[in-house]
Amino acid sequence: MARNLDYDWFIVDPNDMMLQSNMRRDPDVGPTEALNFIRLLTTGKNIFLATPRLRVDEGSYHVYRARVLFPEFQCAWTAAAYSALPTEVSDQLGSLGQRLRFILQAVDQVSYHSLKQANNNTEDHIIYHLAYLVMLATGVFDDLAWTLRFLYSLPLDNFATVLKSPDKSKPRLLDALITNNAQLHAYLSSASVQSKIRMFYPFRDQLQHRQFVTGGLIVNGRSTPRILLAVDRDAYSQLPQTSAAGPRESWGVGERDDQEWMDPYWFVRTALESVADIVNGVLGRIDWKSYLQTLPTDKRVEAEGLLAHGPEDAGRALGWGHEPVYFWAQ
């Protein structure tokens, strides 16, 4: 058999000797990353797998995946589904749930095309889905802010209903939360949480108010050509070198030849992690179960029984039978 070094390694066992071998190369990856690549390959080909042999429809796939990555949303949505919440809150949570599923689709599309052969087509797909992702992320923050406004009947105007604090003062939303949910107020007021929220807005402002994102084919020596996206200089300058949201490098943003560039693959990975942290952090600090106490006994018991189930049980409810392996890799 002829030797051919142009292949990919997929190490899928954490105890595989290749992980400790001196033959291991920098591009070699471990089980989690390998599963993520496999998952991106299958979803990019419109093959949605619950297990290696069990194919499901796209809607069920993302419903399950959203439940895994945003576990705190389930309690809020259960209260909404059983009509334990005011209509305005239920409607806002419905909007939030839709955005969360669309974010997962956008992240997968950007990641898939970022890993494909770099050309004009992959560049267009990357830019299209990344622009949508950024708008969805800031929309998620607005969904959360309006949910809090309706849930606690906060006397706010529309411009004050935001999670992001201004540069010099807190928004009235945070001030109003002091007496309604002190734990949530402390969480949203922390510098680490605000930095994760604020990181998205320079990119949103660039997309919405200034020149649209452009890309370029970058070749660095013998490395594989990649599509990088040019970042607006003003947007780049607003990103802290290091913050609680992570250094610029963790977002795939850096400088090259007097131009600021973004690696879309790493940007969307960190973006998803940050959105998940904020969604779970906000919703997890609200006592949704107290609203279930207002339901008739049979409905309350039914709703609480639903909340007792984990993601694996959701898979069984969808008829899958056992835990989907591919959902666990982000």
pLDDT of res. 153: 93
pTM (2 decimals)?
A: 0.85
pLDDT of res. 5: 43
Q: What stretches of the chain adopt beta strand conformation (E)?
A: 49-51, 54-55, 214-218, 226-230, 253-256, 259-262
- In angstroms, the CA 314 to CA 284 distance is 19
Q: What are phi and psi of 49, to 5 degrees?
A: -105, 130
| Helix H or strand E encompassing 67 | helix 58-69
- In angstroms, the CA 138 to CA 134 distance is 7
pLDDT of res. 16: 65
Q: Give the pair of three-digit tokens for residue 215.
A: 């890309």
Three-class DSSP category at 242: coil
pLDDT of res. 276: 95
Write the Ramachandran bin of 216: left for phi over 0, alpha for psi from -120 to 50, otherwise beta. beta
CB 169 within 8 A of CB 194: no
pLDDT of res. 107: 95
Helices (H) and strands (E) in the chain, counts: 14, 6
pLDDT of res. 94: 94
pLDDT of res. 149: 95
Torsion of CA 292, 294, 300, 305, to 10 degrees: 20
Cα 32 to its chain centre, rounded Å, is 17
| Under-50 pLDDT residues of the chain | 1-7, 242
- pLDDT tens readout for residues 212-268: 777 666 666 556 778 888 777 666 666 655 455 555 566 677 666 667 778 888 889
pLDDT of res. 108: 94
- In angstroms, the CA 302 to CA 185 distance is 31
Nearest to 150 by CA among 274, 289, 286: 286
CB 107 within 8 A of CB 62: no
